[in-house]
Structure 1
Amino acid sequence: MSDDAYNNEPELCNADLIAGLVRRRAIIKCSLTRVATFIDRFIPSPASYAEAASRLNTLPAILNQFEDVQQKVEEIDIDHDDDHHAQQREDFESKYHDMVGRLSRLIPTLTPAVSSPDNYVHAQESSSHVSLEFLLAKNLSMKSVTHLPSLPLEKFDGDYIKWPRFYNCFMKRVNDAASLDEVDKLYFLRSCLQGTPLDLIDGLDVGDSSYSRALALLKDRYERKRFLIDTHVRSLLEMKNLASSASKDLRNFLSTFDKHVEALRSLKRPVEHWDDLLVGIVRSKLDLATLEKWDLSHKANDDVTFKMLYDFLETRASSLESFEGQVGQGRQVNKSKIWRSKAEALML
């Protein structure tokens, strides 16, 4: 029933009018409840950001509807005093502004960087193309945030080896973001998890304390330092031997070996003091030609470090790449000459 209908039907008693208005007021309050439900279930994605922006734009209309209905209630409701009506307004406005604030935190904005009308138009156009990076960058100086590349957060599926990298990245990019509250951080954490890790925290309620609890649960389950150390050491020892002096194989070997060494370093192991051990492991994996060149590069009684061996292998890989490239070009030239000779023979 429209507002005019309520004003133009004098046959209705005040009680009926008030009951109808109260029902309308309840429907309006439900609109805010649906917004709160949307925020509680928010999972970051381009579509979710667009929906958040749309809901934020509709909130002023919801407030106007409440104001209109509440004013009519106050005009005819003589059974309740002014304090009761004031409490109704205060409760609704408090929830309304809470929804505005929470939606605003979800939606990236370039408004602080606006310095001219042209920039303002550009900012408004850009704000429709939202991404996770804009939201996380809100705690940075906006002067340095003009066009950020799309850099998705690390995902975590329960692989123990990947936990340290995921945890460190998440702490730096989300946990340390001053613009995000605990609820926002929980949403981002959930969006990064897959499979068992997500199931582990899925039962937590949405609240300020749930984020810290979720992090604690994940750390208790996946922070296995001793296991990680053993895994990386075993991986170093079990690496396959190099069968030939091919630049690609040598590059892959160096990349894999360095990955495990740096992982051990990040686990606070004293790898800088493991020169003899690391050199010994690498020597045992080299092909005979590379091993011979390494042994000839220094005297028998010289002290050698892992860095010296690593640099030597890097240089050798570069030399092999150049040599292989020249050989490949030579073979291509020879093939071209052969085909040219065959074509000329056919033309005779």
Structure 2
Amino acid sequence: MIIKIGILGAGYMGHTHARAYKEIKDTEVVGIADINSDKAARLAKMYNAKSYSDPDKLIYREDVDVVDICLPTPLHHEYVMKAASNGKNILCEKPIALNLKQADAMINCAKNLKVKFMVAHTLRFWPEYVEAKQIVDKEILGKPLEISTTRLVGTPSWSENDWILNPEMSLGAALDLNIHDIDFATWILGKPKSIFARGLKSFRGAYDHIISVLDYERGSQAFVEAGWMFPQTFPFTTAFRVLCRRGCIDFNFKVPGTAERREKAESSFVIYKKTAPPRYGKIVKKDPYGEEIRYFIECVKDDREPTVVTPEQAKLALRITLAGLKSIEMGKVVKL
């Protein structure tokens, strides 16, 4: 059975997803849609697909099994609703939406119409993050006490007409960068009880460098730093430490440019255990975008709901991130 894919958006993430499908057995990208018809045509030609300047026409194709939404965030709600209403299974780039009302509508629509719906929170498929989750779940180092994360990058220049830098369209680094590690912390520690955040506002009016503290019921904490107020020459830098009762996991990753050049990254994954010397993890390198897409395609083929990341978990990541912005504005702790 060949799963036929229609990709909405021929930008940075559209290219990333199209490359991933090429490596997945029994999938075929049959259409690429973008209001920039030249970009749609160029990407479609690379994969022997048909190009569209009107995304609706691709959604309405009867032979499309999966609609992959790589559009700017303000369009997620509209096109998830349209795709679901046409019986299509949906993979949507993160964040799920700009606000919780939209997220609720999208989740309910997909459920009611019985289509598969997954939001692409890629850290849940990134090998080092997956390994850390497995170590915690197996209690190899005991109970997790604290998570510290960093995600820093130069000001992005990859989006069409710089939409990602428009606070009204993206809410800045909060929903593009910060939400990644908010979701990771929640994946490891569960739902936090409160968040306190501080942020720096860029000249564009968005909080583009944010430091958050999340507190949990059982005393665990998470410290999350994310921002893109650096020069474009600044390397893509991400790191985490998971402190547990009997040891610590430490991951560091740095690469010039964007995460797409990760094969050139300087990275380390080290497990420190109280009763043993440091162990340097030999993580099997996999494309996290390919892994998330492969997983979703398997769910579609097997007619099962995605569980690695559910729409409700994507909504929770959005809720916590928005609460962090509220905390910055109010200057106090926000309960969740």
TM category, shorter: under 0.3
- Structure number having the greater helix percentage: 1
- Bigger radius of gyration: 1
